[in-house]
Copies of this chain bind each other. A is one copy, B any other.
Amino acid sequence: MPSLTATPASALEIYDTTLRDGAQAEDVSFSVEDKLRVAQQLDALGVHFIEGGWPGANPKDIEFFRKIKTVPLRNATVVAFGSTRKASNSVRKDKNLQALVDSGTPTITLFGKSWSFQVTDALGIALAKNLELIEDSIHYLRSKNRRVFYDAEHFFDGYKANPDYALQTIRRAIAGGAERVILCDTNGGTMPWEIREICRVVKQECPVPLGIHAHNDSEMAVANSLVAVESGIVQVQGTINGIGERCGNANLCSIIPNLQLKMQRPALGDKLTHLKDVSGFVTEIANLMPNKRQPYVGDAAFAHKGGVHIHAVLKNAATYEHIDPAVVGNRRRILVSDYAGRSGLLEKVEAYGISLTKNHVKLQELVETLKERESQGYQFEGAEGSFELLMRKAMGSHRPSFQLLGFRVIVEKKQEHGLLLSEATVMVQVGNVVEHTAAVGAGPVNALDHALRKALEKFYPQLREVKLLDYKVRVLSAEKGTESKVRVLIESGDHKDKWGTVGVSENIMEASWQALADSIEYKLLLTDR
């Protein structure tokens, strides 16, 4: 059996379950590829454990555990999740336990019932039988050389209903070899003062380090997690942005900065400045609307609107900001003044090697252009390529590489279950030469992409090495139905660089065209350097 962990009991462990419990959220569905990408981000952020899925319940998760083995991770331990064996199965015949063993992770989190009512009413078995399931399931996994964490499901409800039984379940988990016992507020209904009192009692009873797994049904998940830490718990489970079943899990994007900045309990070390980026990444991958009012990482978290507040913040930020936004990778926004806008922009323009003073007329023009674009729905975070082109156009230093004379895209379907034809024609001018060509594609945007490259590659052979890596569509102001504006974000790359470009229009073809054309212009700008 593996030795007990070397982590000192006083060090905190951040245990992320975005990929398992987070995936239980309504509207969230991760592909295996999504999960691998999120896992890498979580690892870079510095979380200690990544719960990757439940291989016994979801075949997709089996593939994740197979593939994650080939992904190099620096800090994080990948954990498989599953339940204690079924009452009718032996440990060796239990599919769920076998899937956990087969997942090959050195650490496994096993959940079991700690609320007597759940044992009798949900499982429908005797209380003593459940104790057996817990102990021998854990014992079996330990015999396979795995570290086991025990998730005591519904622990707080269970303790309130039948404290003796709840404590018995965790004693048996420890007897089986569990290295951590995680107290779960599965239904999210427990108040912080109850958490404090129950954690205190369990800590006295329990010889292994404890964890907390809170849900947000009473809007208490973050508070409950921190109160548990105050009561001596060492492992905090949660998800990025708090996504999860019903109202979600405890939000690590609030818990981590609260721990580090308010409680002086180091959690991630020096990676806190990545927090906003990771939050945004998970939102994008999950294709959720970003919650701009989210504490710490939301776009409005340090946005000031009230006149009194703005006046004071410009004198001294501490008057209306509880922390420095940069510490979590966020920034201050002044909603009714362009003052901050210009200083921030100046910084950006200088980063591109252009020297301007704060009152330069070109800078003012750029501020106006950006405001105008943003009010139309453009967003330049993640579209630095388009931003640089816009800036160079405003500065008068951009020479276009080609001129569009026209395009036409046709999508045709001949019968109800027939195949579709997507065809695009493009006419462009480079110097004095007009090129007119056509191509097909998997869909209209793909066809347009093919036709445009076909037209330009003879002039600019370096375009052959450009790949489209990512294509995203977000519907803005959705209430106008199919007439709504859409924003297209494209990520492109070659052997060396990656760049993002953006387009906005009521017409998805026009928005895609803008982003495609910018992507090509940006590549040619890179080649010129």
Contact = CB atoms under 8 A, between A and B. Distances in A.
Interface of A: 23-27, 29, 31, 33, 57-58, 60, 83, 117-118, 121-122, 186-189, 191-193, 216-220, 222-224, 226-227, 230, 242-243, 245-248, 251, 254, 257-258, 262-263, 287, 289, 291-296, 298, 300-309, 311-312, 315-316, 318-323, 335, 337-339, 379, 381-382, 403-416, 418, 420, 422, 441-446, 448-449, 467-479, 481-484, 486, 490, 505-510, 512-513, 516
A449 B481 CA distance: 10
A411 B509 contact: yes
A509 B300 contact: no
Secondary structure class of chain A's binding surface, majority of residues: mixed
Given A222-B219, A306-B245, A315-B121, A446 B322 contact: no
Contacts of A337: 29
A117 B475 CA distance: 43
B509 A444 contact: yes
B481 A471 contact: yes
Contact of A471 (B29, B407, B446, B478): B478
A407 B412 contact: yes
B420 A248 contact: no
A294 B247 contact: yes
Contacts of A403: 416
Given A58-B339, A443-B482, 18 more contacts: A24-B339, A122-B311, A186-B320, A188-B295, A223-B223, A247-B295, A409-B410, A410-B410, A411-B507, A420-B509, A422-B509, A442-B507, A444-B444, A446-B506, A468-B482, A469-B479, A470-B475, A481-B490
Contact of A481 (B57, B246, B308, B470): B470
Contacts of A408: 410-413
B58 A26 contact: no
A344 to B, nearest CB: 13
A83 B307 CA distance: 13
Contacts of A415: 404-406
A331 B382 CA distance: 34
A339 B307 CA distance: 49
Nearest to A20: B306
A322 B474 contact: no
A490 B482 CA distance: 8
A441 B300 CA distance: 35
A188 B300 CA distance: 14
A295 B464 CA distance: 44
Contacts of A58: 338-339
